[in-house]
Amino acid sequence: MKRARLLSIVTALAIGRGALPAQASDPTLEQTAELYYSAWLNHDRAGAVKLNKALRPETGGRDYIDLGMLDGPIAWQLKRMGTLSLKSDPSEPEVRRLMARLIVEGNRRVRCRAVGSRVGSQPAGERFRATVMLECAAPDATAALRQVKERERGDVDMNNPTPRLLRAIIEAFEKAPLTRRISTEMDLNAGMAKQRWMPDMYRTGIDRVTSAVAGQIAEAGLGR
């Protein structure tokens, strides 16, 4: 498996107000962004349920966030990794499971909060566009990952990682301090009343966060 392929899998995110006030049950623009991030990064089921309920008038009654992702995040990631190519050997199922766990655990402790937003002064068609700026605190595991590389010595091969190596990387992320700062932006849109804000699936900013987390593997010299 190519280094770029591995890291892409591990990677697999002026203050404005509406003309009319949002109802009590409707999250604000900033709250919508935070709920979206907490669902995707932290597997916050309660937040996802709240967001789904708020957005049902915009989705025809369907859930916007797949709750299956939150009920079994590792199993859900394994499905997404269905096209992953690894060498066939007895450890392959365990390697796949650990890689899915790495995706989950690497991002689970990230904390993001909205720090501002800007709303377009004119609608584009029948929707207003907005951007929320977020600041995230993520695990900084680079130092611990370098120690993993030193301990493993010549047995570091991220093209075909061993279960032991993946477990060590997961542990490094689980214990790392939340000192890495990541700035990102998320686009949303709403109807003319600016009442319910829908995340724009094409620019969520989540990828900037997950890339910064996963990129630490390469920073530590483990991504070859």
Residues facing residue 113 across a β-bridge: 135
Q: What is the pLDDT of residue 83?
A: 57
* Residue ranges, the chain, pLDDT below 70: 1-24, 83-91, 154-155, 223-224
Q: How far apart are CA 135 and CA 180, in angstroms?
A: 10
Residue pLDDT, tens place only, 94-123: 998 999 999 999 999 999 999 999 999 998
Asked whether the beta carbons of 120 and 129 are under 8 A apart, the reply is yes
First to last CA, the chain: 10
